[in-house]
Each structure stands twice: as C-alpha cells, then as structure tokens.
Amino acid sequence: MTETQSRLLDLGEALMRKRGFGGFSYADLAREIGIRKASIHHHFPTKSDLGMAVLDRYADQLADKLRKISSASRTGGQALDGTIKLYRDAIDHAGRMCLCSTLAADTEVIDRDMRERLAQANRDTAAWIQETLLTGRRDRSIAVGGDPALEAKAILAQLQGAQLLARAGGDPQIFDQAITTLVARLSRH
C-alpha cells in the first residue's frame, strides 16, 4: 500500500465515522490531502471501492482488538467489560463513533457489497460476543439467562445503539446511561 493510499484510507475512515458514507466526497478528500480528485480515482476508482477498503481494514482491526481483549482477560466478564470500553472509547465529543455503527445507520447509501461486508463484520463481532458470554457463563462472571447467540446480537445492538444515542445527544455520557443494563450483568467478584 502506498503512503497516499494509506492517507486516503485514514481520512476516508475519519470522515465516514464522523459524517457517514454519504457525508463526504472525493472533493473533500482531495482538498484535505492536497491532491487532485483524479489521483484519488487512480487509487480507488469509485467511492464504494474506497468504502470497501476502509471497511475491510476496519473489520480486520476490530477483530484484532477483540482477540487482544480475549488474550488479556482472565474471565468472560473482563472480556465483555473490555468490549464495552472499546465501544465507549470509539465515541468522542466530535461526534465520531465506531465505523460499523455509522455504516449501519447509512445502509441506504452504501452498495450491496459494502452492506454484505458490514453484515459479516457484525456477525463476526456477535460471534465473538457469544463466545465471551459462554466463557462468562462458565466462569460465572456474566449473567447469561437465555440463548447466548441471541443475547450476543442484542448486546451488539445495545452497544451500537448507545453510540448512536450519544452522538445524537452530543454527549458521550448518554452511552454510559444506555448500557447500564449491560454493565449490570457483569459480576464484580
């Protein structure tokens, strides 16, 4: 990957996380980086090509972060707590949030391939949460009352929804309020 491609992916991700996929153009990228739009098209012929490259990289980075959380956690509860912190840290006062959360709210303006990749990233994350719940059930560090697969999807929805609420309200503390029932499931012993 060239330095220009890397810079385009970094800026594309930052703009998508802040404005959504439909909220920026190649003109925005060209102005920010100081190159012509034609140069961007050389690296990423379409905006969807750029979006897919950003999403692929982001999904790989997210999977890596979740693996690191697993490795650093002694219990399922610690892993789930680490995941909550990961989603909490992804939001800030500038209105940015997790790329998957942003794109989930923007599915009408992304193409089919991006929607499928987003769905796969969400399935992968939910599967990781499911394994964390099973670990937490075994080590008694998470209260798991129902089907872990369904609960994992609900937890992912709660984390992404809490980010959307915090963004809409302009206050990261809203995230904390929206996940209180999730945090209450973690054993503190």
Q: Which ranges of the chain does DSSP label H, i.e. alpha helix?
A: 3-19, 26-33, 37-43, 47-72, 76-89, 99-104, 112-138, 148-169, 173-178, 180-183
Average of per-residue pLDDT values in the chain: 93
Domains and CATH numbers, the chain: 57-183 (1.10.357.10)
- pTM score, two decimals? 0.92
pLDDT tens digits along 64-121: 999 999 999 999 999 999 999 999 998 875 667 889 999 988 889 999 999 999 999 9
75: alpha, beta or left? (left if phi > 0; alpha if psi -120 to 50): beta
pLDDT of residue 68: 98
What is the reported pLDDT for 27? 96
